[in-house]
């Protein structure tokens, strides 16, 4: 299944209507870890239609983000960041990190490089290797 993430039901509903107009079936569920709405569609979608779905999802992104920001209560606003981690056993978790540190890291490395870094740590924790670092193969 393809998954599309939203943070506001109003925007998710726009995407669901778009899917229905394109005769694409979908399922909706709430991801409690990310406090988000996930819309799932079948993977066997024609490439052109898939591109349309991705384009529309991207088009809705700024509106979804703006609504999310508008709904924050200034008195209770917190600055938080998290890293979504997929474990080898299929479980998922979110590691909370200092948002200032995260922003500084992403100023100098790409998100892809950051994800590779985190993946290396996750694998090293799940499959410990006590051999000397000079004997390890480069990942």
Of the given ranges (6-10, 85-89, 125-129), which has the lowest mean pLDDT? 85-89
Same domain, 8 and 66: yes
Q: 131 lies in a domain?
A: yes
User: Residue 50 phi/psi, 5° resolution?
Assistant: -60, -45
Report CA 56 to chain centroid distance, whole Å. Answer: 17
Q: What is the Cβ-side half-sphere exposure of residue 6, based on CA atoms within 13 angstroms?
A: 25
pLDDT in tens, 71-126: 765 445 556 677 777 778 877 777 777 878 888 888 898 878 888 888 888 888 88
Please state, in angstroms and as integers, the Cα–Cα distance from residue 77 to each residue in 17, 35, 45, 132, following that order.
32, 16, 40, 45
Task: Give the C-alpha separation, 95 to 138, whole Å.
Answer: 25
CATH code of the domain containing 51: 3.30.70
pLDDT, tens digit, 9 for 90 and up, residues 50-81: 889 989 998 998 888 888 777 765 445 556 67
Domain membership of residue 42 as a residue range: 2-70
Q: What is the pLDDT of residue 22?
A: 93
Q: Are residues 19 and 53 in the same domain?
A: yes
Provide the number of structural domains found in the chain: 2
pTM of the predicted protein model: 0.53
């Amino acid at each position: 299944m393809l998954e599309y993430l939203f943070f506001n039901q109003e925007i998710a509903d726009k995407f669901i209507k778009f899917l229905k107009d394109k005769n694409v079936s979908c399922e909706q569920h709430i991801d409690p870890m990310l406090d988000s709405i996930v819309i799932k569609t079948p993977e066997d979608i024609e490439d052109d239609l898939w591109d349309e779905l991705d384009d529309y999802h991207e088009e809705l992104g700024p509106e979804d983000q703006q609504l999310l920001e508008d709904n924050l209560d200034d008195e209770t606003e917190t600055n938080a960041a998290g890293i979504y981690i997929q474990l080898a056993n299929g479980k998922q978790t979110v590691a909370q990190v200092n948002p200032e540190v995260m922003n500084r890291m992403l100023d100098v490395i790409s998100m892809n490089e950051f994800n590779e870094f985190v993946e290396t740590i996750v694998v090293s924790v799940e499959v410990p290797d006590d051999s000397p670092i000079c004997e390890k193969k480069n990942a």
